[in-house]
Chain A
C-alpha cells in the first residue's frame, strides 16, 4: 500500500522535470543520432528518408578529421597530465595550511571556475598576443617577441587554467579523509617525508586523482571557446570543427556524426569514472 503511494508521489513530483528532459534532452539527442545517418547533398541539403554511413566512413578515412581527433586527444591528454602534476601538490599544500589562509586560497583558486570562460580566454589572449603583455615585457628586457597566441601552447595553457579547479576539487575532497595521525605515526616510526608521501598520502588521494583525471580529460576533449579564441583559424579541435560543419559548411549530418562520436567517447570515459565513485555516491543518497 505505502509502496504504491510512494511510487505515485515519486512520479508525480518528478513529472515536470521528466517531461522537460524527455522533450529537450532525449528527443534532440535521438534526432541528432538519426541526422548523422542522413544523406547530405551540397545542392539540396539533408535528404530525409535516405540513409548512409558515409559520414562515419569519412570520420575514419579522411585524414582531416582523424588528425583533428588525434590533436584533440593529445592536447587533452597533456592538459590532464599537467593538471595532475600541478593540481595534486597544490591540493596537498592547501590542505596543510592554517585555518584562515586555507579557505581564502581555496576560494581564490577555485572561483575562476565561475567566471565566464570567454572572459578567461580573452585574459590569456591579452597576455599571450603578438603585442601582448608577456611580449611587451620580453621586448622591454631586450628580447625578441615570441609567437604564442594561435599555437597549441596558448590552447594548452588556457585549458590548464580552466581545468585545474576540476582536478583540485576531487583531490582536496579525498585529502579531507586523510587522517593526519597516520602521517605522524609514519614519521615517528622513522619514515622519510618522501616515504610518507609515497606510502601514506598518495594511496589515499588516488581515487580523487582518478576522478579528476577523467573529468578534466572529458571537458578538455569537448572544449569549444578556448580553442575557438586562442587556437585561431588553423588550430582546430573537435568542438570547433563541429561548429564549422554546422554554421559555415552547413553540412549538418557530418557535424552530427562528429558530435555523436565525441559524445560516445566522452560517455565511455565518464561511465568508467562513474563506476569508480558509484559506491560513495550511493552511500550519500542514504541507502
Chain B
C-alpha cells in the first residue's frame, strides 16, 4: 500500500521516465534496420550489432577495458583489504590521514588526476603504456573496495577471531579461515564495484591512453565526437547489457541497495 497521493505518484512516474528514457532509447535504436538514428518502427534488425563485431578497433578496445578492469580491480582489492584491516583494527599515528588519503580519489576530479598522471607518465617516458594505465586505474578504484571492506570489517563479530587466537592460530590461518570468510561479501562487492568503475572510466583514461591502449569508453567518446551512427547505439546497448549483468551479480553477492545507498 502506498501512502503517496496521485500528484506524488505522477511526479514519481515523470522522474522514473526521465531517468530511464535515454537508456531505453539507446537500446531501441540499436535494433534499427535503417542507416539513420531512428526507432525500429519497421521491424528489428541486428545489422548494427554485426557492424560492431566487424570493427577491429572496437573489439580491441573492449578487450583492453575488460583486462584492465579485471586486473585493476584485483590489484585494488589486494591492497585495499590489508589497508582496511589496518584502519579498522589498529590504532597508530596517522591512521586518519591514511584513511583520508586512500579515500581521496573519490573527491579529486578525475580530470585533475588525468592531467597529473599524464605529466608523471610523460616525464617517465611511459605515456600510453598499458601497465601504467592499469596502476592509474588502481588508484582511482581502490576507495570503492576500501569503503566496503571497512564497513564489512566494522560490522563483523570478532569473538570467533579472539577464540581462534587464544587457541594458538597463526595470524595467516586466522585471516584465511576466520576473517576473510566473514568479510567476503564486502570484498566481493568491492571488487565488482571497482570493476564497474574501472570499466566505465573515461575522463582520466582519455589523457593517458594511446591508440593501441584505448579503452572502450574512450574509443566511444572519440567516435561520438566525430560521427554519430546506429553502431554507436549498438555498442552502448552492449555496454548497458554488460553493466546490467554485473549489477545483478553485485546484487546477489552484496546487495545492490547496500552498495548504492550505503547502508551496511
Q: Which residues of A contact B (CB under 8 A)?
A: 3, 6-7, 9-14, 16-18, 20-21, 24-29, 31-32, 35, 86, 89-90, 93-94, 96-98, 101, 103, 105-127, 129, 131-133, 136, 158, 161, 164-165, 169, 172-173, 176, 218-219, 222, 224-225, 228-229, 239, 242-243, 246-247, 252, 255-256, 259-260, 262-263, 266-267, 270, 284-286
Q: Give the nearest-CB partner of B243 in chain A.
A: A115
B131-172: CB near A (< 8 Å → 1, else 0) gives 000011011001000000011001000000000000000000
Query: In the bound complex, do residue A242 and residue B111 qualify as a contact, i.e. CB atoms below 8 Å apart?
Result: yes
Chain A residues within 8 Å of B251, by CB:
107
Query: In the bound complex, do residue A107 and residue B2 qualify as a contact, i.e. CB atoms below 8 Å apart?
Result: no
Chain A residues within 8 Å of B11, by CB:
89-90, 93
Q: Apart from A18-B98, A158-B22, what are 9 other A-B pairs with CB-CB below 8 Å? A: A13-B90, A97-B2, A110-B260, A117-B202, A119-B239, A133-B39, A239-B203, A246-B207, A263-B108
Query: In the bound complex, do residue B117 and residue A161 qualify as a contact, i.e. CB atoms below 8 Å apart?
Result: no
Query: In the bound complex, do residue A256 and residue B115 qualify as a contact, i.e. CB atoms below 8 Å apart?
Result: yes
Query: In the bound complex, do residue A118 and residue B119 qualify as a contact, i.e. CB atoms below 8 Å apart?
Result: no
| Of B42-50, B51-59, B182-190, B224-232, the one touching chain A | B224-232
Chain A residues within 8 Å of B93, by CB:
7
Q: Give the nearest-CB partner of A284 in chain B.
A: B154
Kindly identify which residue among B22, B90, B107 contacts A266, using a CB–CB cutoff of 8 Å: B107
Query: In the bound complex, do residue B196 and residue A114 qualify as a contact, i.e. CB atoms below 8 Å apart?
Result: yes
A interface majority secondary structure: helix
Query: In the bound complex, do residue A108 and residue B16 qualify as a contact, i.e. CB atoms below 8 Å apart?
Result: yes
Query: In the bound complex, do residue A252 and residue B119 qualify as a contact, i.e. CB atoms below 8 Å apart?
Result: yes
- Please report the C-alpha to C-alpha distance between residue A101 and residue B9 in the assembled complex, in whole angstroms: 12
**If A246-B115, A262-B112 touch, does A31 touch B120 (CB 8 Å cutoff)?**
yes
Chain A residues within 8 Å of B246, by CB:
114
Chain A residues within 8 Å of B116, by CB:
25, 28-29, 31-32, 259
Chain B residues within 8 Å of A176, by CB:
263
Q: Is B233 located at the chain interface by the 8 A CB criterion? A: yes
Q: Give the nearest-CB partner of B26 in chain A.
A: A123
Query: In the bound complex, do residue A169 and residue B262 qualify as a contact, i.e. CB atoms below 8 Å apart?
Result: yes
**If A97-B2, A101-B2, A161-B18 touch, does A24 touch B136 (CB 8 Å cutoff)?**
yes
